A and B are shown apart, each in its own frame.
Chain A
Amino acid sequence: MQMNHDAYDDNYIRSILNNVKSIAMVGASPVNVRPSYFAFKYLAQRGYDMIPVNPGHVGKELMGKPFVASLADIGRPIDMIDIFRNSSHIMPVVEEALKLSPPPKVIWMQLGARDDAAAEKAEAAGLKVVMNRCPKIEYGRLSSEISWMGVNSRTLSSKRAPIPTQGMRLSLNRTSFSGGQTAASDRAAKNKTETP
């Protein structure tokens, strides 16, 4: 089925966020006002195994994780590559990702970034692709955590909300307006990598 990259079904996004465990963030910044830093920290606190990739910061750490210079330097299988680069820098990253063995399952291009040719290449190799979205915002929206900020989550639920752990962490187990419900609930809560 041809993927519509202008409007993703919530179930598509939800299944990616529920199934990936490790995320390499290309273009991660150690500067704590950059969007990549926000997203890295948020996803790490939700239990994802995060790897910061940025050749300019090798030797430093982000939330205790050492920076690596390139995807090839990670040295172990990675589920998802989250690309925090401008649209014009996407293709080389995707080409590098496709050389990994095994290749990642998902290529995610950050809010504002889109390269349809790179997406086509990744999809031809069997990868899932998301463009022009932020995984932090999508996680926050689908769990309704982002509703604390008055954001329209486009989800409904008549079930008692799970008690947030660590103050804010909620479950992805909600019904989207566009349909679909996942039985997988708070993987992050079970898979604690953050210190309680």
Chain B
Amino acid sequence: MTDRLPGFSTLAVHAGAQPDPTTGARATPIYQTTSFVFNDADHAASLFGLQAFGNIYTRIGNPTNAVLEERVAALEGGTAALAVASGHAAQLVVLQQLLKPGDEIIAARKLYGGSINQFTHAFKAFGWNVAWADPDEIESFEGAVTPHTKAIFIESIANPAGSITDIEAIAAVARKAGVPLIVDNTLASPYLIKPIDHGADIVVHSLTKFLGGHGNSLGGIIVDAGTFDWSKDNKYPMLSEPRPEYHGIRIQETFGNFAFAIACRVLGLRDLGPALSPFNAFMILTGIETLPLRMQKHCDNAKAVAEFLSTHPAVSAVNYAGLPGDRYNALQRKYAPKGAGAVFTFSLKGGYDAGVNLVSNLKLFSHLANVGDTRSLVIHPASTTHSQLDDAAKVKSGAAPEVVRLSIGIEDKEDLIADLDQALRA
């Protein structure tokens, strides 16, 4: 065999999958089962005691899900991954391994509105505090570090405006603070950005978006970069201390550089319960096979649409990092040279009402609260995804009243431009 690393497209099709041992099925079978038989009592005890690799119960692991996990780990360049029910579940499971009540994370202020809600309200009830920082001002991350800080959380390409985050600069802050950097890579997908190459210790995704790609299945995933030493001080006892639920096993000592993914599985997913359906794992795996093709088309279409809007008389501004004048264009050329993604915002001269009118006049774009579908999507964040924020927070997070967000699909770009043009003129 040749001494070469397979390319991204090869991994997208093959990583983690192998013809089924009993039937020879080439596509990954859907193991739609709750449970798996043990060979004997010793085998069962070995599996429950984490001494053997294998399947017990689909809430802990499933062979279809395992193919998805290995595939995304390979695409991201991580040591291991854990698939869960949604992107939100991934964030919950990750932070459960890292935070105790009274601990805090530093999060970029520019995040998916759902993440802002989750961190602000749901996690606050667990005693997990969040300090917000501005991804455009690296010093604001440094200034937010306290003795209680346990992690830094950012998006690689940030919702809703498609801004590009300087991952390496924030990774340097995390290293100095001795905490892991968590990067939500949903809007970029590993085709555009591989955060681990830039210093991320943990990558999370909503698989629901570009990885699945077809708007038909929810899912989330956690990728362990294998880079963080969880035992160097006593900050992460879930990984460094003997675990009573496994008779005193220390997770990092036992599992080495994929200990975080194992902790998420055997302490997080097992006990919190947000398991991914094997059927959804199958749908998402099928989507990932075409990720490189789709993602390039998404980016090329988005750039064409952004260029069209930037000269349109009804439009006051376009925020798309792929445009030469955009404030994030230099970061885009560094971190995402193949394209700036397909989610971006633009502002209408007519303000809030013009936004509402545009959404109702579009014929091809679908008005819904998702991104990363084959279909082109539109939403008015101020009245939907970001509606729970006050006006000042809306502006700070890029969701001012006159702003419309697009997620550009893989249709013919001429049809998308024609639809936007007629709706802006209507």
Contacts and interface: CB of A to CB of B under 8 A. Distances in A.
Contacts of A154: 74
B21 A160 contact: yes
Given A35-B253, A178-B5, A149 B24 contact: no
A150 B49 contact: no
B66 A148 contact: yes
Nearest to A162: B21
Given A150-B261, A152-B74, A153-B70, A163 B21 contact: yes
Interface in A146-165: 146-154, 156-164
A181 B38 CA distance: 32
Interface in B218-260: 242, 246-249, 253-256, 258
B18 A161 contact: yes
Contacts of A160: 18-21, 24
Given A151-B80, A152-B70, A162-B21, A167 B15 contact: no
B137 interface: no
A33 B246 contact: yes
Interface of A: 32-33, 35, 37-38, 41-42, 111-112, 134, 137, 140, 144-154, 156-164, 166-168, 175, 177-181
Contact of B256 (A41, A134, A149): A134
B140 interface: no
Contact of A167 (B54, B61, B255): B54
Contacts of A32: 49, 51, 247
Given A41-B51, A167-B39, A178-B5, A150 B61 contact: yes
B121 interface: no
Interface residues of B, number: 55
Given A33-B49, A33-B247, A161 B38 contact: no
A175 B262 contact: no
B247 to A, nearest CB: 5
A158 B261 CA distance: 26
Interface centre among A137, A146, A151, A179 (most CB of B within 10 A): A151
Contacts of B39: 166-167
Contact of B1 (A37, A137, A144, A181): A181
B396 interface: no
A171 to B, nearest CB: 10
B51 A151 contact: no
Contact of A152 (B53, B80, B83, B248): B80
Contacts of B246: 33
Contacts of A179: 1-4
Contacts of B38: 167
Contacts of B310: none
A148 B5 contact: no
6 contacts: A112-B256, A149-B258, A151-B79, A177-B6, A179-B2, A179-B3
Contacts of A163: 21-22
Contacts of B14: 156, 158
A153 B18 CA distance: 12
B261 A151 contact: yes
Contacts of B254: 35, 38
B156 to A, nearest CB: 20
B63 interface: yes
B52 interface: yes
Interface string B12-35: 001110111110100000000000
Contacts of B249: 33
A161 to B, nearest CB: 4
A149 B63 CA distance: 9
A142 to B, nearest CB: 13
Given A149-B80, A164-B21, A179-B2, 7 more contacts: A33-B248, A42-B52, A145-B53, A152-B74, A153-B16, A157-B18, A162-B21
Nearest to B253: A35
A177 to B, nearest CB: 5
